[in-house]
Amino acid sequence: MSAEYRTGNPGSLSPEQVAFYDREGYLALPQLLDDADMAAVIRSMQQKVDEIADDLYANHLITDKLEAESFENRLARLFEGKTDAEFLKYGRSWRDRLPGYFDLMANPKILDAVASLIGGEIFANPVYNTRPKVPKVAAGTVPWHQDRSYWPDANANPVITVWVALVDATLENGCLHFMPQTHRQQLLSHHREAYTSTKYTEIDPEHLVGKERAIALPIEKGGVILFNDRCVHMSTPNDSKQVRWSVDLRYQPTDQDPMPQHGVGFLARSDQYPDRVATLEDWLAKRPEHEPIAQLA
């Protein structure tokens, strides 16, 4: 999708796609991104895996860093036979401030789609996560929840989650599942799950009535799923032998709570103030906007 950004009617989504999102609370965009779009963020993830392999090796937990293994296989093989705790030492998800993440968050294809839903003044929320769903590791199973449960007091509505599949997301390796139309509800009561060590939020059992109507949403590499932060969703365990790599990004209108308690987001697009749109250098320096150098008289 590379539709022209249109002032007054921004975005790349068709009216039918926008209507589907408004009605169901989510929208799948297969093959939105190509290999070139994902190359930089995958390099950043590989850098993180290098660091993990170095640490495992230094602590005598592995004897081979498996540097020749593929992106899809390496992390899974590094943690073969390891415990959940050994994996969770590195976090259930990663939020590294590496250049590849900015490259993805500022991708025009993603921003064009988001603009169709919230307009052309777009703030990239500080909550973005890499999700390496490793086979047989408890952190890979995510219970039914609303993203909004992680920022219940924030004055930000809507927040659009953009979930990017960096490998094929299948029924076997733990694709997303959604309860359609649940975004019409407010924040549901929830708790921190206690049956793993992840402490993911989970909606209370009384809200699971009707979950049999939930849908699974497998999507191929490069596909993107947009959903409202109140839409109830989950993902199942990874029963394959490879890592299900994904990253979830979030965007919101610029006039809403930037949630500084969760980190530093950035101005991703603005027709009103294009000179304030953050650059990679701004993001790496944790500046939410670009501050142009005044021209000398």
Nearest to 38 by CA among 168, 137, 134, 161: 168
What Å distances lie between residue 185 and 90, 153, 192, 230, CA to CA?
34, 16, 20, 7
| Spatial CB neighbours of 111, under 8 Å, sequence gap ≥ 6 | 122, 251, 268, 269
Does 224 fall in a domain? yes
* Helix/strand/coil percentages in the chain, nearest 5: 30, 20, 50
Domain that holds residue 101: 15-284
The type of residue at 189 is S
Pairing of strands 233-235, 176-178: antiparallel
Q: Is the dihedral of CA 75, 78, 79, 80 positive or negative?
A: positive
Buried b (16+ CB within 10 A) or exposed e, 250-261: bbbbbebbbbee
Is 297 inside any structural domain?
no
Sorted by sequence, the CB contacts under 8 Å of residue 117 that are 6+ apart come out as: 11, 13, 18, 21, 158, 160, 226
- Sign, Cα dihedral of 142, 69, 35, 30: negative
| Within a domain: 8 | no
For position 266, which CATH number holds?
2.60.120.620
Give domain status of residue 292, yes or no: no
Residue 7 placed within a domain: no
Residue 198 pLDDT: 76
Output the pLDDT for position 138. Answer: 65
Q: Give the chain's domain count.
A: 1
What are the pLDDT tens digits along the chain (297 aa)? 333 333 444 789 999 999 999 999 999 999 999 999 999 999 999 999 999 999 999 999 999 999 999 999 999 999 999 988 899 899 888 999 999 999 999 999 999 999 999 999 999 999 999 989 999 876 678 889 989 998 888 887 789 999 999 999 999 999 999 999 999 888 888 988 876 767 889 888 888 877 778 999 999 999 999 999 999 999 999 999 999 999 999 999 999 999 999 999 999 999 999 999 999 999 999 999 998 765 444
Spatial separation of the C-alpha atoms in residues 81 and 136, rounded to whole Å: 9
Helices (H) and strands (E) in the chain, counts: 7, 13
The DSSP H or E segment spanning 22 is helix 15-24
Q: Are 138 and 198 in contact (CB under 8 A)?
A: yes
Q: Which residues pair with 226 in a beta bridge?
A: 27, 162
- 245 within domain boundaries: yes
* pLDDT reported for residue 294: 52
pLDDT in the model for residue 7: 41
Whole-number Å distance between alpha carbons of 123 and 156: 11
- Identity (one letter) of the amino acid at 18? V
Q: How far apart are CA 15 and CA 116, in angstroms?
A: 9
Considering the domain boundaries, does residue 5 fall inside one?
no
CA distance 203 to 201: 7
77 in any annotated domain: yes
